[in-house]
Chain A
Amino acid sequence: MTIRRWIRWGAPTAALALGATLGCIVTVEPIDGGDGGAGGPTTITVRLINASNIGLDPQIFISAEALSAEALFASATNKFTSFGDFGLGLLGAGDAAGFDLDCAAVRVLGTPGGSFGNDLQAPEGAGTQRVLSQDAQFNCGDTITFTYSRSSGGFTTSYGIN
């Protein structure tokens, strides 16, 4: 076969064979050493216990983005209030509440301590600031329990994870 014949007939034939063999190639390559995956837990359970004998605003803040404790508490939009009596985010003396949060919505979760008092416009005091981050202090699927109580001379907020 001469070069001219190859150019006229051989090359197109080869291209046809190649195209028919390979088809089109689309490259999309997400890469990850992933620790996520199907079938695992998808929620975090939060339990709030008011162990005091007065009213409580537990002041639960959550963020899907990594941020500092200061930034978490600085934005009112981060405050989660869909629990408690009438879904107002308040607990009466001795009350408890619980709710589930989507794991993807909670990179950081915390409370500046909670505000104690039967008149929350004039609270008697605040508990202890607690700030936790997912994959460090807790994991998706965990249950986080905040307990708000009186302590000698004031109020305290403790937490447990299991």
Chain B
Amino acid sequence: MRRARLRGASVVGPLLGLVLAASGCIVAPPPVRIELLNTTALDVRPNFYSSSEAATSGELFLAENLRTDWTSRVFPELRAGETASLELTCADAAAVGVSGSIMFDALRVSAVTSPDVLFLLRDAEFGCGQTVRFTFVNDAGALRVQLSVE
């Protein structure tokens, strides 16, 4: 009986893998959802970065890792009160963060840069399947970035 059960179990795993592979499917971990929330009354350029291999902030905050595909607008900015989101495959989200976020008053043509640099590593500060939310807040004229992971 014990031998029969073991023999049965040993067949299921490889067979299931074979079937999934034959069907062209790869079971991937759930994606990471990124949310960018502008709670200010002005335009905000989030300057959100992601990388599949960065392990340090210096490796993440490079021009090549700047993500702007969360919008189809000419300029990668959030309008006042606007929220945008983006889903990254878990493999593409080894590290995420924001740096140099800008709050822009287009009428007065004035801008302030946030002092906040947020750098997050997958499996440390967030995990696959989680939502990472960056909230941009006007704090008495200064742009601050708040972080939550759910």
Contact = CB atoms under 8 A, between A and B. Distances in A.
A36 interface: yes
A16 B22 contact: yes
Interface string A44-79: 000000000000000000001111110110000000
B116 to A, nearest CB: 17
B24 A23 contact: yes
Contact of A19 (B8, B9, B20, B104): B20
B5 A4 contact: yes
B92 to A, nearest CB: 10
A33 interface: yes
Interface in B99-134: 102, 104, 106-107, 109-111
A19 B109 contact: no
A89 to B, nearest CB: 22
Contact of A27 (B31, B73, B82): B31
Nearest to B75: A107
Nearest to B44: A66
A72 B107 CA distance: 15
A110 B24 CA distance: 55
Interface of B: 4-5, 8-9, 11-12, 15-16, 19-20, 22-26, 31, 43, 45, 69-75, 77, 79, 82, 84-87, 89, 102, 104, 106-107, 109-111
